[in-house]
């Protein structure tokens, strides 16, 4: 079946796949099928499950990170526009402070936008 190697534990038996944790060849007798891959039976099942858990968690985090910076851009961009608007057309005594804060928010918006481009560029 597919894999051109022998079982690590039984050198005379041909392997059906490799353990996800240690990459050793496993025959049907030694392989524990976990659904998303195989592991050394009674040895690496938990490790492979942990690995799978971390990978799926990272995938979810990456997906969330792709969405959140966009919210960041919109939020910071909106706040920047509001504060700059207050600064330019609002009451004189707070205008400079509002403009500075608005400019700060716009810088954050640009940084978040750059972050999005970096994340999207990789995938």
Nearer to Zn ion by Cβ, of 34 and 106: the residue is: 34
> What is the full DSSP assignment across the chain?
----SB-SS-TTSBPSEEBTTT--EE-TTTEEE-SS-EEETTTTHHHHHHHHHHHHHHHHHHHHHHHHHHHHHHHHHHHHHHHHHHHHHS-HHHHHHHHHHHHHHHHHHHHHHHHHHHHHHH-
Rule CB under 5 A: is residue 20 a binding residue for Zn ion?
no
Candidates 10, 70, 86, 119; binder of Zn ion (CB under 5 A) is: 10
Candidates 16, 18, 25, 30; binder of Zn ion (CB under 5 A) is: 30
Rule CB under 5 A: is residue 51 a binding residue for Zn ion?
no
Rule CB under 5 A: is residue 41 a binding residue for Zn ion?
no
Candidates 16, 38, 44, 87; binder of Zn ion (CB under 5 A) is: 44
């Amino acid at each position: 079946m597919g894999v051109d190697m022998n079982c690590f534990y039984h050198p005379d038996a041909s392997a059906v796949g490799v353990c996800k944790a240690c990459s050793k060849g496993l025959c049907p007798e030694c392989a524990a099928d976990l659904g998303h891959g195989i592991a050394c039976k009674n040895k690496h099942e938990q490790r492979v499950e942990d690995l799978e858990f971390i990978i799926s968690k990272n995938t979810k985090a990456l997906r969330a990170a792709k969405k959140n910076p966009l919210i960041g851009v919109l939020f910071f961009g909106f706040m920047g526009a509001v504060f700059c608007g207050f600064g330019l057309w609002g009451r004189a005594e707070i205008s400079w402070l509002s403009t500075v804060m608005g400019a700060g928010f716009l810088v954050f918006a640009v940084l978040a936008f750059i972050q999005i481009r970096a994340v999207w560029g990789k995938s």
